Structure 1
Amino acid sequence: MIKTKAFSAASAVTAAILWIGCSALVAVLPEAMWKMTAQMLHVELSEVSWAMDWSGFFSGLLSWSVLAALAGALLALVYNQLSGPDA
């Protein structure tokens, strides 16, 4: 059985760490990160540029952390339901 609150919190913290790391890479290596993003999405992004400011950083941090917490809670709930009482 997975502890839903703990797993949800761990998911939120992990998402926050990944967001901060990704944002730091965008700040330090914008060109390399832009090329990697274009390759990952299979699109041509030469006409577009980054729009990262502090409000975007914090709103993204909050949004991704909350979404990860909700996804973690749902994942734990589904896992606990599927594993049943005999697991």
Structure 2
Amino acid sequence: MTDPDFVLQVKGYGLSTVQIHYYLPDHPSLLQMFVMQQYDIAPAFPRLDRFLDYWRREIEAALHSVRVAHNHLIGPAEWRAVDGVITIN
């Protein structure tokens, strides 16, 4: 059985870390934070868009800001040629 997260990565998804700052209606002067990680496709972020649409419809907390960090975990191998010889005694 293949891991579903690995299948998403092969399809081009990368790991997104989302930091959401929001205000609750009961405490409008208190800025709160929600952090989540999910696999998503940059730069469109369709899964994040669906989540934020849900937030606006169903959650009474007012959004202040959303920060996203994204990293493709599977990509081409990186290497560089090194000119030299290391001698070990």
Structure with the higher fraction of residues in helix conformation = 1
Would you say same fold, with TM above 0.5?
A: no
Q: Which has the higher strand share?
A: 2
TM-score normalised according to structure 2 size: 0.29
Larger Rg: 2
Structure with more relative contact order (C-alpha pairs < 8 Å, separation 6 or more): 1
